[in-house]
Amino acid sequence: MLSLKRLFGLCSTLLSIAPAALAQGWIEPVRPLPRGTIEKVRSAVQVAVTGRIARVSVEEWFRNTGPLMDEGSYLYPLPGETVFSDFSLWQGDRELKGEPMDAGQARAIYEQIVRRRRDPALIELAGHGLLRARVFPIAPGETRKITLRYTQILDRVGDAMRFRYAAGTAAPSRSFRLQVDSAARWGDPYSPTHRLTVSHSGDHLELALADTTAGGDLELLLPLARGLVGTSLLTHQPVGEDGFFMLLLAPGRAAETGAPVRRDIVAVLDVSGSMSGDKLDQARAALVQLLGTLRRGDRFRVVTFGSGVRRYAAGWTEVSADNVHAAQDWVRRLDTNGGTNIAGALTEAFAERPGEGALGVVVFLTDGLPTVGETDPERIADQAEHGRGPFRVFAFGIGYDVNTYLLDRLTDRARGVTEYIRPGGDIEQAVGSLATKIASPVLTDLALRGDGVELYDLQPERLPDLFAGDELVLFGRNRGEGRRERSVTVTGRRNGREESFTTNARFGDENAGSDYVPQLWAARKVGALSREIRLHGPNTEIVNELKRLALRYGILTEYTSYLVQEPNQVVVRPMFDRAPPAAPAPQDQAGAAAVERSRAERALSGSLQLSAVTVTGAAADSVITRGSAEATRIRRVGGRVFLWRDSTWTDSAHGDSLQVVSVAAFSDAYFALLHALPELVKPATLEPAVLVAGRRVSIKIEAGGKTAWAPGELAKVVTDFRG
């Protein structure tokens, strides 16, 4: 049988702590005498959304794997916004009589279960009540299905509706489908916790899990498709530290954005000898396609470079049908020649400034290293940064013989991005996607400000431009006085005039349903720090900050190493004693490994789902197995990553130099500890023992340890833990 401790993940405690955020519960068995025979084998959730109403149907299959008949009760914590009048619980064709309880009754059940030590469970009550139903006996080898149906009201977050489902114990097979009526009133759905597939059928929108084996609670945002920009703001306030926030910005459709932004576009193409053959054919076709996306009011320039630099025409060319066709014919006749004069090409690209109120974009394609003119990547990057002006720069590195340092430096501060196309990749498709993207700029020069709350450490640090069909997911930290609702405003420019968009959220309250926000912020921060070290050289402060975040949230980097040791023990090696690596040597800035490093940094700094933060896979400096042993030896609980070590779930951020305070589970000291440090409530569900790292002290909860606190001792532990 599955223990209650494993069956009930905890997002909040009932120990006189502030009520948890509203969320779904789940069906799980509770027995006075556990026999270890009942397993959940399958789970299926169907949700139908009409307006703000979600009708939820939960089906769960349980099998008795033991030799004896088994029975018990099922508990289902109800979301606070549930419409109870439409609530029923069935087993096959037989109705199970439910017994709704209020929070006080539910708390009493919690105390009975925990204090009698029937099981070390901390039962989540993610709403205001609990349904308890008697379960009929399940015979040996028999599988029984329970169906639960209820209706709930979706809560609104800015310009989006939010749906949550708390999964409870993960089943080997799990399906989730959500159907939405009136698809036209919704923007693109977004989930920070799971990858989803989205399909349209008439006026209906259907969402499903992309990975049916993915566990964990599901969070889903449905943006309202109205207005130029939809904004939604979620906050999370950990105890004893500054808060975190996630801001979702979704621009409207192109038809809703008013008059199009004028664009001045410079296409820069490498025609050196190494581009001959299929690469040049694709690149020429890509430029022809890019020119074909221009419209009246835009202007363009075309620059090519080999050993020398050529331009299609002096100055800007106004867009007209004849001018575009003539330029396309010129591009089709291009041929390769000589070396690679990157410095000269960039100087020419930035020579003509974009017009007042126009969006200046440079599209730069190359497949090689600089060999003509200035060849030092550092000096080329510095010259480009000083000469770039207001241009946005989007670079395409073709193949592995490109200098990743140079291209990433070129786009890092230019509100652009570098895309690397593997050998044999489709250049035309990559450039075509960019052409489609920049065809409909909605807002440029974005900035963020808070009213009565300080917003800092934004990820990404420089807000990119918003284009039709894009959505920006911005993470950051916040600090301010009091627990109250504050407004956050996004400003941007459209066609030379400023526009602003404001949304509200409550800062300062711990929101258990949004505890994924710090993890995603940390992943983006680690990606940004890694890039900063690679592009501008390492320093002790940045490297130590990267290590701290990587270990705290279990993110694999070249500065943190995870090693699987026999017998199936996963240990973390902080590697704080290792000197920071030197900046990449010029020969290390090119090649397949350099390209993959850049890709990995970009993936982290653009993390959208928790899967980007999960400790899986390998890094250049890390070793970890992908087998089933690994899957059962790593846990992410309460925003922390725990690794199985010496029969204890050990916080990946714990270092051997930290003092350890051991507390006996379910003793008076244990309950007092959870009252004083509610951030330990979720980790406390890990069994048989858990070690949680603090700033100056770590706390271990196990069978032995302290059962009572001496006067002033607990207060000192709290101070040392939070630092």
Task: Identify the pLDDT of residue 251.
Answer: 62
Q: For a pLDDT cut of 90, what percent of the chain falls above it? A: 16
Tell me, what amino acid is at 546? L
Task: Identify the pLDDT of residue 630.
Answer: 39
How far is it, in rounded angstroms, from Cα 561 to Cα 540? 18
Task: Tell me if 514 sits within 8 A of 246, measured CB to CB.
Answer: yes
Task: Tell me if 548 sits within 8 A of 526, measured CB to CB.
Answer: no
21 pLDDT above the threshold of 50: no
Task: Identify the pLDDT of residue 134.
Answer: 59
pTM over 0.85: no
Task: Identify the pLDDT of residue 661.
Answer: 94
Task: Identify the pLDDT of residue 253.
Answer: 54
Q: Which of 169, 226, 202 is nearest to 39 (CA)?
A: 169
Task: Identify the pLDDT of residue 10.
Answer: 25
Q: Which of 214, 215, 217, 245 is nearest to 231 (CA)?
A: 245
- Across the range 642-668, mean pLDDT stands at 86
- Across the range 66-94, mean pLDDT stands at 65
Task: Identify the pLDDT of residue 469.
Answer: 64
489 pLDDT above the threshold of 70: yes
Is the model more confident about 384 or about 515?
Answer: 384
Tell me the pLDDT of the chain averaged across its residues. 75
637 pLDDT above the threshold of 80: no
pLDDT digits (tens, 9 = 90+) for 573-613: 443 334 445 555 555 777 777 777 787 777 777 766 666 66
- Return the SS3 of 65: coil
Task: Identify the pLDDT of residue 717.
Answer: 94
- Bridge partners for 205 per DSSP: 180, 200
**Strand 28-30 and strand 70-78: pairing?**
antiparallel
Task: Identify the pLDDT of residue 578.
Answer: 43
pLDDT digits (tens, 9 = 90+) for 366-382: 988 888 888 888 888 88
Please state, as a whole number, how many other Cβ atoms lie within 10 Å of the Cβ of residue 208: 14
291 pLDDT above the threshold of 80: yes
Least confident of 154-163, 302-311, 415-424, 673-682: 154-163
Task: Identify the pLDDT of residue 14.
Answer: 26
**Strand 659-664 and strand 697-702: pairing?**
parallel
Task: Show the tokens assigned to 190.
Answer: 């977004």
How far is it, in rounded angstroms, from Cα 534 to Cα 545? 15
Task: Identify the pLDDT of residue 130.
Answer: 57
What phi and psi, each to the nearest 5 degrees, are found at residue 23?
-160, 170
Tell me the Ramachandran region of residue 570: left when phi exceeds 0, alpha when psi lies from -120 to 50, beta otherwise: beta
Task: Identify the pLDDT of residue 627.
Answer: 37
Is the model more confident about 85 or about 387?
Answer: 387
How far is it, in rounded angstroms, from Cα 519 to Cα 305? 44
- Is 278 exposed, middle or buried, given 0-12, 13-18 or 19+ CB atoms closer than 10 A? exposed
Q: Set out the domains of the chain in order of their start, with CATH numbers.
A: 4-224 (2.60.40.3680), 231-257+442-494 (no CATH), 263-438 (3.40.50.410), 515-631 (no CATH), 654-723 (no CATH)
Q: For a pLDDT cut of 70, what percent of the chain falls above it? A: 72
Task: Identify the pLDDT of residue 299.
Answer: 96
Task: Tell me if 54 sits within 8 A of 152, measured CB to CB.
Answer: yes
Is the model more confident about 126 or about 129?
Answer: 129
Task: Show the tokens assigned to 449.
Answer: 């400000």
Please state, as a whole number, how many other Cβ atoms lie within 10 Å of the Cβ of residue 165: 22
Does a cis peptide bond (omega within 30 degrees of 0) precede residue 460?
A: yes
- Token look-up 């004896």 returns 68
b (16+ CB within 10 A) / e for 230-248: bbbbbbbbbeeeebbbbbb
- Across the range 20-27, mean pLDDT stands at 34
- Return the SS3 of 517: helix
Task: Identify the pLDDT of residue 330.
Answer: 95
SS (H, E, C) 591-619: CHHHHHHHHHHHHHHCCCCHHHCCCCCCC
Task: Tell me if 711 sits within 8 A of 659, measured CB to CB.
Answer: no
DSSP of 360-408: EEEEEEE-S---SS---HHHHHHHHHHH-TT-EEEEEEESS-S-HHHHH
- Across the range 209-236, mean pLDDT stands at 75
How far is it, in rounded angstroms, from Cα 571 to Cα 147? 42
Please state, as a whole number, how many other Cβ atoms lie within 10 Å of the Cβ of residue 361: 23
pLDDT digits (tens, 9 = 90+) for 663-690: 998 788 988 898 888 888 778 878 789 9
- Across the range 314-340, mean pLDDT stands at 93
571 pLDDT above the threshold of 50: no
Task: Tell me if 643 sits within 8 A of 632, measured CB to CB.
Answer: no
Task: Identify the pLDDT of residue 64.
Answer: 83
525 pLDDT above the threshold of 80: yes
169 pLDDT above the threshold of 80: no
Please state, as a whole number, how many other Cβ atoms lie within 10 Å of the Cβ of residue 59: 17
Q: Supply the DSSP symbol for 194.
A: S
Task: Identify the pLDDT of residue 128.
Answer: 39
CA-angle at 511, arms to 681 and 654, nearest 5°: 45
How far is it, in rounded angstroms, from Cα 17 to Cα 478? 23
18 pLDDT above the threshold of 50: no
Task: Identify the pLDDT of residue 567.
Answer: 33
